[in-house]
């Protein structure tokens, strides 16, 4: 029998990425409820609740959970009801955004 190899733990390291801020026609939102079929209810920065769709390029690469802080882009048509996902913040990025008060108070969870 061979020796067991120890696995390296990555739990102590934080991933550092460039901070992504909303651009024109984008806003912060918090995921409220999963609807299925890559759709979620989100509470947006303007106070509206919209149905968010996860585009195909994010479906397998990015897992969305309840209470995630995200950036969304409302649709041109039905902009008060539907939107698309643009970016999901990792936990260290979310802490930075909350700490620097970039988000409206009703979105802080």
Rounded Cα–Cα distance for residues 7 and 9 (Å): 6
Distance between CA atoms of 67 and 80, rounded to whole angstroms? 21
Mean pLDDT of 12-33: 82
Superfamily of domain 27-107: Nucleic acid-binding proteins (2.40.50.140)
pLDDT, one tens digit per residue, over 4-18 is 665 565 665 655 666
Q: How far is CA 26 from the centre of its chain?
A: 13
Number of helices (H), then strands (E), in the chain: 2, 5
Contact 90, 53 (CB under 8 A): no
**Domain residue limits, the chain:** 27-107
DSSP state of 107: G
CA geometry: angle 78, 48, 56, nearest 5 deg: 55
Q: Rounded mean pLDDT of 46-67? A: 91
* Model pTM above 0.75: yes
């Amino acid at each position: 029998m061979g020796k067991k190899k120890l696995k390296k733990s990555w739990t102590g390291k934080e991933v550092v990425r460039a901070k992504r801020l909303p651009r024109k026609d984008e806003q912060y939102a918090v995921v409220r409820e999963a609807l299925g079929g890559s759709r979620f209810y989100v509470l947006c920065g303007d106070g509206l609740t919209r149905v968010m769709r996860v585009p195909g390029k994010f479906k397998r690469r990015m897992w969305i959970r309840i209470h995630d802080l995200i950036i969304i882009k409302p649709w041109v048509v039905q902009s008060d009801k539907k939107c698309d996902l643009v970016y999901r913040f990792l936990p260290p990025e979310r802490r930075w955004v909350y700490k620097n008060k970039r988000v409206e108070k009703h979105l802080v969870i």
